Each structure stands twice: as C-alpha cells, then as structure tokens.
Chains A and B, each alone.
Chain A
Amino acid sequence: MPEKRRLPNDMKRIDAVIRPSKLDEVKESLTAAGVTGLTVFEVKGFGRQKGHTEMYRGTEYTVDFQPKVLISVLVDDDLLEAAVKAITESARTGRIGDGKVFVSSVEDIIRIRTNERGRDAI
C-alpha cells in the first residue's frame, strides 16, 4: 500500500479584510516586504459593531454590511511575520472597522503555466 504523502507545512495563506481606501497602501507595503502576488476580492461584511441607520425619503433603513476588500496572499513560512506586519501596519487607522487578518496553512500550490508545485509555485 503506498504511503500517504505528507507535504511539509511550510506555506501559509494570509486573508486580510481591510478598508477599501487602504488597498493601495497595503499593496505597496506587501510588495516592499517581498510578497510576489496577491488576489483582491470586493466583499461586504460586519464585525462586532454591526451596521448603522440611514434615511431615504423619510424612511429609516439599516446598513448592515459595509463594503470591504479581502486580500489573499500566499507566502513562505519565513515571510509570514513580515507580511502580517506589513498588512496590519499599513491598514490600521485606529477606528472601528479596520478589519482582520486570517492565517491558514495551505495543502498545495500549483502554477498553471509550468505545473510547478509547492514552494516553487509561490
């Protein structure tokens, strides 16, 4: 029976939900930290503070979801702390709604053009 191949746990995925206005700053500081690529999603969400109420033609309505941006990057373990620090420093304003960073491990990465796998594909 073939052994179940166990990949080394040396790649991480960082997802960061940030303010849309901070995207450029975060992108610059990630690039400066040595990150080679990223994916950006336009998302909506809320945290502990929920939304707020607005008025339209005399009727109140609640704005539950705030527009946010989710950045997804893949890094080597060695680069993890630097990348997280780059994101948190550049995305922080000090006000409620700054966002969150999630770190998860990655099973495998494949580059479509060359079929490289693992750390070579980052």
Chain B
Amino acid sequence: MRNIPHTHPRLFLKIVVAILLVRVAIGPLVVAFADEPQPDPAGIATGDKGATLDAGGNPFVVAQPTDKTAPDFAKNKKAFDEFQAQAAKEPLAMKLADNVGHLRIATNFSWTLLTGYLVLFMQAGFALLTCGLVRKKNAAHLMMLNFAAYVFAFLAYYVCGFAFQYGGAAINAAPTNLGGTPTLSHFLLGSGLWGFLGGKGFFLSGPAYDAGSLCLTLFEVVFMETAGYIIVGAICERIDFWAFLLCELFMGAILYPMFGCWVWGGGWLSQLGSTLHLGHGYVDFAGSTVVHGVGGFCAMALAIILGPRLGKYGPDGKPRAFPAHNLAFVVIGTFILLFGWMGFNPGSTLGSTDLRISVIAVNTNLAAVAGSAAGMFLWYFLFGKPDVTMACNGMLAGLVAITAPCAFVSPSSAVLIGLMAGVLVCLGVLFNERVIKVDDPCGAISVHGYCGWLGAVCVGIFADGTYGAGWNGIGVTSYLGKAGQGVTGLLYGDYTQFFTQVGGATLMAVYAFGFTYVVFSLVNAIRSMRVSREVELEGLDVPEFGLPAYPEDELVAAEPAGSLARA
C-alpha cells in the first residue's frame, strides 16, 4: 500500500485528485445541512443596522459582551442593556438604522465596482505601453497577448482562483464594507489562523453566488488580471501563444490566488500578528507584492526559461538595443495606467465610507510623479538625455512602490518612496540587461518585481500609525500603548513590522519565482515554449495570428490583388 506512489504514480495521482474533488463537492452539501449563513444573490438581505457605523468606525448596534472574564465586561454589559432599552423605546430609529446600514453598504458597492472598472481600464493602458515598447513586426502579437491574458486568466479565476483566494475570507478577513461575505467561510488547506488556500466559491456558484461576494469578485479579479498582464512585458516577442495561455491559466488559477489568500484572504501571512506577535501581521494595502511582485517575479522566471530574444546579446555578451516602435503608445499607456491606479489604490478600501481614500489618492499621485522625476534626472546624469521610456517606467515604479504603503504613510513619505522607486527601477533595468543578462523588453521585472518588494518593505519603514487600527485583527482598541494607533513602521517605533514586511516580501519573491520556475521548466522540457527561429526573425504577427499590425508595410498594393478586376 505504501509503495503505490512509487510503483503506480498515475494511480496515486488519480486517487489524490479524487479525494480533493470529493472534499470540494461535499463542502457545499455540508453547508446546506449546517446552520450557516445563506448566500444573497439578489442583494436584498445585505446591509442592515449592523452595518451602520459612525465616522470613527464605532457601530450603531452595541454588541452583547460574551466574555465574562474580560476586564471591562461590566461596562460593556451596561452599555448593551442601555442600548436594548432604547431600541425598545424607539423602534422607528431602529428601522431607520437598517436603511442607513443598507445605504452604507450600497455606497461601498458602487465605490468598489467603479474603482474596479478603473482597474479594468488599466488593461488598455498596459496593452498600449507594451505594444509601443516592442518592434513593429510584433505589434499585433503584443496586443493579442494582452487581450488573451484578460480572457483566459479571468476564466481560470472563475473556475477556482477566487475560491482559492477568498473561499475562507469570512474567517479572518471579512470585508465588512461589503457586508462581510459570511458565506465564504472555509479553508481547503489549513484552518483557523493558519489558512493556506480557500475552499468555497468554485465556479462562483453556491456560497459565492451572493451580491457581496460577487462585488468582491469583480474587484479582485481585475487585480489578478494586473498580475496576469505584467508577465507579458518580459516574455513578449518570443513566446508561443499556446504556452502563453498556459501561463495565464496558471496565474489565474493558482499562483496569484494562493499568495493572495495568504495576505488578503485571511490566510497565515496576514495573521502573523495574532499567531507570532509580528506587528499587524504581513501588511500589503493594495498589492505591491500580492499583485505586482508576484507578476514581476513570475515574469522573471519565465524570461529566464525562455532566454533572451535573438540578437539581443552579441557573441561577446554585449547587449544590443531594440528601440521602441511607438513612443506615443508608451506615454499614453502610462497615463492610462496612472488614471487606472486611481481605482487600484483608493478602491482597496472597498468603500468610500472610509475617508482615508483622499489621502490614498494623493499619496499615489505623489509617488508617481516623484518616481518619474527621479527616473528622468538619474538617466540624464548617467547618459546625458532623459529617456522617455525610463520617465514612464519611473512613474510606474513609483506607483508600484506606493501601492502597499499608500494608506499608511504621509504625503512626504510618499514622495520619498517614489524617489527611491524611480532610482531602483533605473538601476534594476541596467542590472537585468547588463549584469544578469535577463532580457526584459518592457522592464516588467524591474518595475513590478523589484519595486513591488520595495513597496512592501516601505510599509515597515514609513507607516506612521494614523490609519489601520485593528488591521488583521491587531490593536483594535490600542497598539503600542496608544489608543487608535494603526499600522506602524520602523521610523515611528515598530521594528517588528519592518522585519515582518521584509520577510513576507522576500517570501513572495521566492514563492513566485520558484513556483513558476519549477512548473514551467517542466512545461518547457516537454515542449519548447519559444517560437522557432524563423518565426521570431520574421515577427510573430503573421506566423502566429495571420494579421500584420501594419499591413501597408507588408503589402505593395493598397487593394488586395485582383479585387478590382471586375470594376
């Protein structure tokens, strides 16, 4: 019996898959029989007086204290009794509170969905940016990669990605701004404070077919799509389309959702504050590491497996330049990404009732412009002219780096973070190209990978405690001796947060790079993911898709031959 994995590997694999499928199938049945929250697909039961809060986040409804041993039990019991008495005397006020709670949730729904649509628009920005940065003969190929990335990663996320990432969200990370999604309450792998993979909501059915849950889905799927298109920037101009689809399915189904579960789905990294007393646990507000870091380091692994483009490195190892074919696209794409980031960062509050959104929006912009300025000035000092593409990459680097700390830092810190990112991205591009000789046509590894890591670490340095009280369940009433103290970094007195951030960010890099490298080395060994030499030299537009992006360059006649014969 013990020998089966070795003597009958296929049988063993089938047994494992069967067990997992049975667990997944039984889950919903257990829900149906147990006394669990029911999904609310029409949205008619989401948001009541329990969701009504004041500006300070204090609930209208006073909860019944359950822990008799708590020191302020008597005070809380008195407050509860008074509330119950008043509720009995003023039933109309209680009904109004139900309406207000619903309105609060509704406001947050529209915020979350609209900012999600802004992030969706970033797809267009990235498509333009990357298309402009490559050679003319591959323009249609780049556009198709970006387009197909959205299509296939989304489908993978629908099948299992969302379930893996948020299937257990209600356990430790219920999004109260959207009604709490109480039906997403089970970890497939792990449990309690040590969750590794969610287990509810496969095919967005059953527990996930719920208004609040699907609101969360829309917002989170476009974030996953961001990681999905980041890899395009590093693997373009030589990857085979079928291999690319596999990369996108991998990203949407497991690579992104697993780390996303650890940090945002209530998984173990977010609970390190409770389990190991490490600050507020690992904190990443809008995804410097969850989105950009994972995308960047996945891209790095794929770029290394694929190898550089033909002709990129001469026989002496010196790099050759392949200049961008359309700088207008590059700049427009960058502006669209900046605009979309106004959804990416402020939207991550999941509610406009959280007024920190204005601080987040300003911090995001400050880091963007500081990053771009740093890129322009550094390049000017190094090479004598400010490079347009590095100005754009500098802005994106600043945006990536501020994505994790944007809610927790002051505007001046945001500028500093942007400046650091602008310098890092320039050095990163030179390092990748000249030192480790990893061919990255659009700088995706430097912008998203390196600066994503930096962003998470900056939370641990610059977070000033003005926001985030109760983050990941830590310090609900007070933290570091101060009431209402939020997420705090090294410069403001919390060194454990710094070490947690460095550790978590580095783990992200190892995870994304390692997991991708193992899986796709295997894929590449079975069949090469790279197009043939002839196809790469001709350009992938026609051989892969039958359509040149600029047909006038290819055809001699304006009209197809023979089409006017009868005119």
Residues of A within 8 A of B (CB): 55-61
9-residue interface stretch from B244-252, B288-296, B385-393, B411-419: B385-393
Shortest Cβ distance from residue B121 to the other chain A in the assembled complex, whole angstroms: 27
Q: In this assembly, does B429 line the interface, its C-beta being within 8 Å of a C-beta of chain A?
A: yes
11 pairs, CB–CB < 8 Å, chain A vs chain B: A55-B383, A55-B385, A55-B387, A56-B321, A56-B322, A57-B429, A57-B443, A58-B429, A58-B430, A59-B433, A61-B320
- Which of A55, A57, A58, A60 is most buried by chain B, counting CB atoms within 10 A of its CB? A57
Sorted nearest first, the 4 A-B pairs with minimum C-beta distance are A56-B321, A61-B321, A59-B321, A56-B323
Q: What 7 additional pairs, Cβ within 8 angstroms, besides A55-B384, A57-B429, A58-B434?
A: A57-B389, A57-B390, A58-B382, A58-B430, A58-B433, A59-B320, A60-B321
- A contact residues around B383 at 8 Å (CB): 55, 58
Q: Give the complex CA separation of A60 and B430 in angstroms.
A: 12
Q: Give the complex CA separation of A87 and B289 in angstroms.
A: 63
Is chain A's interface secondary structure helix, strand, loop, or mixed overall?
A: strand
- A contact residues around B493 at 8 Å (CB): none
In the bound complex, do residue B387 and residue A57 qualify as a contact, i.e. CB atoms below 8 Å apart? yes
- A contact residues around B385 at 8 Å (CB): 55
Q: In this assembly, does B59 line the interface, its C-beta being within 8 Å of a C-beta of chain A?
A: no
Shortest Cβ distance from residue A5 to the other chain B in the assembled complex, whole angstroms: 34
Q: In this assembly, does B190 line the interface, its C-beta being within 8 Å of a C-beta of chain A?
A: no
Q: Give the complex CA separation of A59 and B429 in angstroms.
A: 11
Interface residue ranges of B317-372 to A (CB < 8 Å): 319-324
Interface residues on B, range: 10 to 19
Q: Give the complex CA separation of A45 and B545 in angstroms.
A: 33
User: A60: nearest residue on chain B (CB-CB)?
Assistant: B321
Taken residue by residue from 296 to 326, chain B's Cβ proximity to chain A (1 for < 8 Å, 0 otherwise) reads as: 0000000000000000000000011111100
Q: Give the complex CA separation of A60 and B324 in angstroms.
A: 14
Q: Give the complex CA separation of A56 and B319 in angstroms.
A: 11
- A contact residues around B324 at 8 Å (CB): 56
Shortest Cβ distance from residue A41 to the other chain B in the assembled complex, whole angstroms: 14
Taken residue by residue from 372 to 411, chain B's Cβ proximity to chain A (1 for < 8 Å, 0 otherwise) reads as: 0000000000111101011000000000000000000000
Interface residue ranges of B256-279 to A (CB < 8 Å): none
B433 is contacted by which of A55, A57, A61 (Cβ under 8 Å)? Answer: A57
- A contact residues around B429 at 8 Å (CB): 57-58
Q: Give the complex CA separation of A56 and B430 in angstroms.
A: 11
- B contact residues around A56 at 8 Å (CB): 321-324, 387, 389
In the bound complex, do residue B430 and residue A61 qualify as a contact, i.e. CB atoms below 8 Å apart? no
- B contact residues around A55 at 8 Å (CB): 321, 383-385, 387
Q: Give the complex CA separation of A55 and B433 in angstroms.
A: 14
- B contact residues around A61 at 8 Å (CB): 320-321, 323
User: B133: nearest residue on chain A (CB-CB)?
Assistant: A57
User: A63: nearest residue on chain B (CB-CB)?
Assistant: B323
Shortest Cβ distance from residue A63 to the other chain B in the assembled complex, whole angstroms: 10
Shortest Cβ distance from residue A61 to the other chain B in the assembled complex, whole angstroms: 4
Q: Give the complex CA separation of A61 and B312 in angstroms.
A: 12
Q: Give the complex CA separation of A46 and B322 in angstroms.
A: 21
User: B390: nearest residue on chain A (CB-CB)?
Assistant: A57
- B contact residues around A60 at 8 Å (CB): 321
Q: Give the complex CA separation of A59 and B383 in angstroms.
A: 10
Interface residue ranges of B419-448 to A (CB < 8 Å): 429-430, 433-434, 443
User: B383: nearest residue on chain A (CB-CB)?
Assistant: A55
Shortest Cβ distance from residue A13 to the other chain B in the assembled complex, whole angstroms: 23
Q: Give the complex CA separation of A60 and B320 in angstroms.
A: 7
- Which of B322, B323, B324, B384 is most buried by chain A, counting CB atoms within 10 A of its CB? B323
- A contact residues around B319 at 8 Å (CB): 59
- B contact residues around A58 at 8 Å (CB): 382-383, 429-430, 433-434
User: A58: nearest residue on chain B (CB-CB)?
Assistant: B430
Q: Give the complex CA separation of A58 and B387 in angstroms.
A: 9
- A contact residues around B382 at 8 Å (CB): 58
Shortest Cβ distance from residue B233 to the other chain A in the assembled complex, whole angstroms: 13
- A contact residues around B430 at 8 Å (CB): 58
